[in-house]
Structure 1
């Protein structure tokens, strides 16, 4: 029976309850974060907490814990759920008021804090020589103008992701005014003329922790890299396409809509970056070389 954390207490998931007046339930008024842990070691924890703190500031929710307290809670939750390779989901909402009102409660109410864990599937990057890649589709980006906030208001993302699933794809790559923004639940990279390219961070995309690590690794290993806008034509003509997220890490896309990407197999540049990523993860988390 999995253990979760809710408002100061650990409990079985089946025992967790929130008020129907919670603003997360009524208005999607809250933010979330997902932190992977490998070998029970939180991966890039400071970077994830920086993003959580930024999201809270942007929506004007007071952070209920400092970083040390968050770390203690995350580590205890991992231990209570058996340790190993788990993702930790954190959700903070503005809390439950006495009446439904679009304006923030005055005086403020206590935030609702919920945390849970989920197993992490073996990522494609762990086996770059045998990975098969996946399919993506393109769709217009129909989301709101502040995608840089990791908001729990994910209905547009869910609808776009479901369109991908219904098309037999793992992701929908989103386009706005002819340019790539990101995936419905991922950041996007391409390889074009031997250069790794990803869109710059702005209000149209969520600054991914894995995205930023890939950028760092490119710099550390001298890989040709550019952070700039990607046109739809460049996406369709790319030699390689990747998507990145905290739990899927870096995944090759080998089919876009109904066309093969490159030769239809994970590319050489992806394999290079995947190996660098996995080496970094193993060093940081004390994982043995397979």
Structure 2
């Protein structure tokens, strides 16, 4: 399998990660996951734009610009003959003797690889089960950094309870999922947490909001409570790999009738058209 290493495509077994790479020792880096459908990356420009924003927020100077990076990723997809799957893209601040401050002279390292991954058709059709847990992550969730331990622990919490996702909250206010954005439907109105520092500004989230507007579904970007989840008419999560997945239960309690609702279905159809 070919991978992108800085500015060249090479085989995976021909590169190594330095033991003092700051991604490895500090989580000092950023990443993106890009969905590929029928050999074409979905919302590639939007993902790269967010990648650049994350780099700016942590003051990491990328070694080359957007167009060149997009070209490398397109080449990588073609080289690996990827039809349906994902591209993982990462940039670290580079390798340097271990010390907390930004190192002088360190050169950023970019790595990207592809992975085959089928669409989650079962979850899209039947829905997923979720659990509630506290949001213990840091306060800059809008930056897509490598610091994912909080999300890892939340996802494991869900898995151990037989669930596919953990819905996070701060002081009773729902933020997002461990790896998704959360949407609630009540009385025909769509609600989701505002795109501030407490959530990741999801690409699929943005596509969903745009689709809702086109379909005439009112959408309000405002926080809602955990209690609201159990009074919702519909609930779903969005993400690059989860697309628009209905949530049919939380901690064993059904959301409404425990089946995907009509607005969720309508948005899924709109998303399918974009694919």
User: Matched residues in 1 for 2:183 and 2:118: separation?
Assistant: 22
Deviations 1:92-145 (A, max 9, x none): 000001x11000012x311011101112322339x96xx111100000000001
**Corresponding position of 1:100:** 98
Shift of 1:276: 0.5
Alignment of 1:164 with 2:186, yes or no, is: no
Shift of 1:151: 0.4
User: Matched residues in 2 for 1:275 and 1:14: separation?
Assistant: 41
Instruction: Single out whichever of 80-89 and 255-264 deviates more from structure 2.
Output: 80-89
User: Matched residues in 2 for 1:103 and 1:53: separation?
Assistant: 21
User: Matched residues in 1 for 2:13 and 2:161: separation?
Assistant: 34
8 A Cα contact 2:85 2:116, kept in partner? yes
Q: Equivalent of 2:107, from 106, 110, 115?
A: 110
**Corresponding position of 1:185:** 179
Which structure 1 segments of 5+ residues have no match? 282-290
Shift of 1:8: 2.9
Which residues of 2 match residues 109-188 of structure 1 at below 5 A?
A: 109-124=106-121, 131-188=125-182
User: Matched residues in 2 for 1:124 and 1:219: separation?
Assistant: 25
User: Matched residues in 2 for 1:165 and 1:256: separation?
Assistant: 13
Q: Equivalent of 1:271, from 261, 265, 272?
A: 265
Over 3 Å counting, the alpha-carbon distance change for 1:221 and 1:66 in structure 2 is same
Alignment partner of 2:230: what SS? helix
Alignment of 1:56 with 2:50, yes or no, is: no
Alignment of 1:203 with 2:207, yes or no, is: no
What TM-score results when the alignment is normalised by the length of structure 1?
A: 0.91
- RMSD of equivalent CA atoms: 1.4
**Corresponding position of 1:261:** 255
Alignment partner of 1:243: what SS? strand
Alignment partner of 1:237: what SS? coil
**Corresponding position of 1:41:** 40
Alignment partner of 2:115: what SS? strand
User: Matched residues in 2 for 1:162 and 1:48: separation?
Assistant: 26
8 A Cα contact 1:88 1:117, kept in partner? yes
User: Matched residues in 2 for 1:218 and 1:161: separation?
Assistant: 28
What TM-score results when the alignment is normalised by the length of structure 2?
A: 0.96
User: Matched residues in 2 for 1:65 and 1:170: separation?
Assistant: 37
Instruction: Single out whichever of 35-44 and 18-27 deviates more from structure 2.
Output: 35-44
Deviations 1:242-290 (A, max 9, x none): 1110121110010111101111111111111000100111xxxxxxxxx
Shift of 1:7: 2.5
